Amino acid sequence: MPVISPAQAGGLNRCAFLDALASSEIGEALLAVTDNGYNVLVGATPSNPITFSSYAKHPGILNAALNSTAAGRYQLLFRWWSAYSVLLRLPDFSPLSQDLIALQQIRERRALPLIDSGQFSQAIAACSNLWASLPGAGYGQHTNSLDSLKAAYILNGGTVA
């Protein structure tokens, strides 16, 4: 589960959606061997869990092989951390801050009402350009199936209409 509570997030469906995103971006095996994905750097695998040690700020570490600075449970790029930390007045890159940023990104895609009403597939479609692992992302990277994401969502307490 994310560290944000359902009350803080706006409901259990939102927390379940965050879990589905983390499952998609990080994978269950890597979530299990890290701090629930909150300290993961892009390029990490379960057999090679590349992590960062401080939540004081986004680590901003470039993985040259992947040309990416993605970090955390939702694989946020450093350039977006700079903007969201100011917008949301976040003190750090802690797990709660990462959850709040992901929810803000979902809000900006107008997907929160879809999540709240159990329209999971539509919410994934609305957010697909934000996370490369989502079906329809179009980044040329591995994507996960809608069925596997929906299973993770339901497993974590999400309801579908």
Reduce the DSSP state of residue 89 to 3 states and report it.
Answer: coil
Calculate ∠ Cα 121-93-13, nearest 5°.
25
Selected catalytic residue, list 25, 100, 127, 152: 25
Q: Give dist(CA 43, CA 54) in Å, integer.
A: 18
Rounded to 10°, the helix 78-87/95-108 angle is: 90
Taking the C-alpha atoms of residue 84 and residue 26, their distance in angstroms, rounded to an integer, is 21
Contact, 116 vs 14, CB < 8 A?
yes
Query: Is 25 marked active-site?
Result: yes
Residue 126: which of 38, 135, 15, 117 has the closest Cα? 135
Looking at the annotation, which residues are catalytic?
A: 25
